[in-house]
Amino acid sequence: AYLVDYDEVFYATNAGWGWRVFELANEGDTPSIAVDSKNSVHVAYGTTYATNSSGVWKRLSLDEGSNSSIALDPSDNVHIAYYHYQHDTDTNSLKYVTNESGNWRYETIAEFDNLFIPRTSIAVDSKDSSHISCTYKYSYPSDDVGDELVYFTNSSGSWKGMAVDSGNIRNGQEIAIGPGDSVHMIYNWRDGRLKYAINDGDEWYSFVISSANEGESSYRNSYYPAIAVDSHGCTHISFY
Return the pLDDT at 17: 84
Return the pLDDT at 136: 80
pLDDT digits (tens, 9 = 90+) for 136-176: 876 544 455 457 889 999 999 999 999 898 877 776 789 99
What 3-state DSSP class applies to 206?
strand
pLDDT digits (tens, 9 = 90+) for 25-59: 988 888 999 999 999 999 999 999 999 999 999 99
Return the pLDDT at 5: 83
**In this structure, how many other beta carbons lie within 10 angstroms of the beta carbon of residue 37?**
9
pLDDT digits (tens, 9 = 90+) for 80-129: 999 998 877 778 899 999 999 999 999 999 987 767 777 899 999 999 99
Non-local CB neighbours of 218 within 8 Å, separated by 6+ positions: 190, 191, 192, 212
Instruction: Output the CA angle 227-48-171, nearest 5 degrees.
Output: 40
d(CA 67, CA 210): 26
pLDDT of 200 above 60: yes
d(CA 205, CA 23): 40
Return the pLDDT at 218: 52
Report the percent of the chain where pLDDT is more than 90.
63
- Model-level pTM? 0.91
